Amino acid sequence: MNASYASLIKECFPHAKLVVDRFHIVKHLIRSFEDIRLRVMKSFDRNDPIQAKHYRQVKALSRLLITRQDMLVYDKWTKWRNFGWAYLTESEVVERLLSTSDELRIAYAYY
């Protein structure tokens, strides 16, 4: 929620209770995580082949990073183009994406 909105509510309705619903909490968490992911991606040197590869992987598979851990598939092996057509589960892909940056791993742990 916008801070100016909260102060306006307190001024106009001094006895009102402020309630934030689950949707907006999750939306804020996802937006914050995406901001960190984009900052990490921008920190990669795209002229370095290894870092450029990490950049493409994190960009292409960002959907998996915001998927709840209990919704990731742990038992179905799939070929992943971004990992040289290796057979990996979604959870292994997430682990490899997180290994590209400590900042991303820490943010994911909180997310």
Q: Is 51 exposed, middle or buried (0-12, 13-18, 19+ CB in 10 A)?
A: middle
Distant-in-sequence, close-in-space partners of 92: CB < 8 Å, separation ≥ 6? none
Domains of the chain by residue range: 55-111
Please give the model's pTM, rounded to 2 decimal places.
0.79
pLDDT digits (tens, 9 = 90+) for 26-56: 999 999 999 999 999 999 999 999 999 999 9
Instruction: Read off the pLDDT of residues 59-89 as tens digits, 9 standing for 90 and up.
Output: 999 999 999 989 999 999 999 999 999 999 9
What pairs with residue 88 in β-bridges? 78
